[in-house]
Amino acid sequence: MSTDKLLSVHNLCVELSTAQGRIRPVDDVSIDLRRGEVMGLVGESGSGKSLTCRALMGLLPGNVTSNVTAALEVDGEHIDISSTKALRRIRGREIAMIFQNPSSYLDPLMPVWRQIAEPLLSREGLGRGEARAQAVALMRKVGIPDPPNNARAYPHQLSGGMKQRVMIAAALACKPKVLIADEPTTALDVTVQMQILRLLLDLRKESGLSIILVTHDLAVVSMVCDSVNVMYCGRIVEHGERNDVLGTPAHPYTKALLSSEPSLLGEGEELKAISGQLPPLNKLPSGCRYRSRCEFVLERCADQDPELRAVHGAHLAACLRCEELAGRNEALA
C-alpha cells in the first residue's frame, strides 16, 4: 500500500428534499483513499454510508431532488461532482461499484458473459468475440469454475456466491482503480462470505486495486480492512488505522458498536446494547448528534458539535472526550 492518494473527496454533502423538509443524510464527509488500501466504511442503517458511495458515483435515485457538493479528486485529476457527464466518465473506468444483493443487480434476461462484457462492447468498442474472451478471462480471475460453460448461464442458474463473483467481474471489466463494495457479503452464507472477502484481498494484491468496503459488520472490518471510517448520522465520527480504531476506540459510538458485537466479545464479557434510537435527520439535536445515546455524555456536549480531531497521529475522532476515551482502553488484541 503506497502513500499516494488515489481518491480524495472532501466536504461531501448530500442534501435531499423530502416531505419532512430538506435533510442532509451525508454531511461533510471527507475520505482519502490510498493506492492499494482497503478502507472500511462502517455504520448502521441510516448512517449515510451507502449514500456516500452512491454520491461519489452519481448514482443517487433519480426521482429524488438532491444536491451534492464536494471537492473530488481521482488519481490527481479534479472531477466536478455536479456534472453527470464527468461522473459517467469515471464510472466503471476509474471507480466501480458492487452491491449487496446480486440478484437485483443482474439482468435476468441476459447471459452473464454479456453482462460482464457490456462496458467492453459499448465503451471500449470491442468486437463480440474479443469481448466474450475477456469476459471469460475475468470470470476465471474471480474464481468462477468452468468459465467457458458458465459464461452462457443466466443469473437464476447461479448460486448467490457465483452471482456476486459475476458482479465483481463486471465491475473489473474496465480495469478500475477503485472498487466500492456496498455490503457485498451481507446476503451470503458465512463460508461464501469468506471466499468473497478472500477474493477481494487477492485482487488487491494482484492489481493494486483500492477498495472501499461498506459494511455494518465490524467483524468483517477487523479481518479485512487496513483503515476504518465509522459513520453516524451522516458524519464520520472516527477514522484511523484498523488496529487503532478497533483496538483503542476513541469515540463512544465505536466503543458501543464494539461491545454490542458478539463475535468480538472477550471471554465472559456481557453484550452491551446501545440505548435509544437514531435521531431523525430533520430534527437533529443541538451539539453532538450522538449525545442522546452516549454513555460518556457531558453537559457541554449539547453546546458544541465536535469536529474530527487527532487523538494520536492519524487516528481521528469527533468527540470532546476522545483522548480520554482512547487512553482508557486496554488494547483488545
Partner 1 sequence: MKPLLEVDHLVVEYPLQRGMASWLQRKGARGLLAVNGVSLSIPKGHAVGVVGESGCGKSTLGRAMLGLEKASEGTVGFDAKALGRLSAGELTAFRRRAQMIFQDPVGALNPRLSVRQMLSEVIRVHRIRERADEEHYVKELAAKVGLSEDLLDRKPRSLSGGQCQRVGIARALATGAEFLVADEPTSALDVSVQAQIMNLFKRLKEELDLTLLFISHDLGVVRYLCDTVLVMYLGRIVERGPAERVFADPKHPYTRALMASIPHVGETTSDLPKPVKGEPPSPINPPTGCPFHPRCDRAFEDCKRAPFPEERVLENGTVACHLYSSQRPRPKGRGLR
Partner 2 sequence: MIIAKTMGGVRRRLALPYWTLYFGIGIVIVWTALAVFAPIVAPYSPDNQILTATLQAPNSLHWLGTDNFGRDVLSRIIWGTRVDLLMGGLGVLFPFIIGTIIGTLAGYYGGWVDRILMRLLDITMSFPFFVLIIAIVAVLGAGLVSFFIAVALVGWVSYARLVRSQFLVLKKADFVTAARSLGFSNMRIMLRHILPNAILPAIVFSMSDAVIDILLGSSLSYLGLGVRPPTPEWGLMIAESQNFMGSAWWMSLFPGLAIVILALGFSLLADGVAQRLGVAVE
Q: Which residues sit at the interface with partner 2, rule CB under 8 A?
A: 16-20, 61, 63-64
Residue 149 interacting entry, from partner 2, partner 1, none, C-beta within 5 to 8 Å by type:
none
φ, ψ at 69 (rounded to 5°): -130, 145
Nearer to partner 1, 123 or 272 (CB): 272
146: burial class by Cβ within 10 Å (0-12, 13-18, 19+)? Answer: exposed
Residues 238 and 248: beta-carbon distance below 8 Å: no
- Concatenated DSSP letters of 252-313: HHHHHHHHT-GGG--TTPPP-PPPS-PPPTTSPPSS-TTGGG-TT--GGGGT--PPPEEEET
Consecutive H or E run containing 95: strand 95-98
d(CA 306, CA 300): 10
d(CA 193, CA 186): 8
Residue 109 interacting entry, from partner 2, partner 1, none, C-beta within 5 to 8 Å by type:
none
Give me the least distance between CB of 196 and partner 1, in Å please: 9
Q: Which residues sit at the interface with partner 1, rule CB under 8 A?
A: 38, 44-45, 159-162, 189-195, 197-198, 201, 216-220, 222-226, 246-247, 256-257, 259-265, 270-274, 277, 332-333
Give me the least distance between CB of 263 and partner 1, in Å please: 3
Alpha carbons within 13 A on the beta-carbon side of 307: 4
Give me the least distance between CB of 198 and partner 1, in Å please: 5
Residue 193 interacting entry, from partner 2, partner 1, none, C-beta within 5 to 8 Å by type:
partner 1
Residue 219 interacting entry, from partner 2, partner 1, none, C-beta within 5 to 8 Å by type:
partner 1
Give me the least distance between CB of 215 and partner 1, in Å please: 10
- Count CB atoms within 10 A of the CB of residue 220: 21
Give me the least distance between CB of 44 and partner 1, in Å please: 4
Residue 155 interacting entry, from partner 2, partner 1, none, C-beta within 5 to 8 Å by type:
none
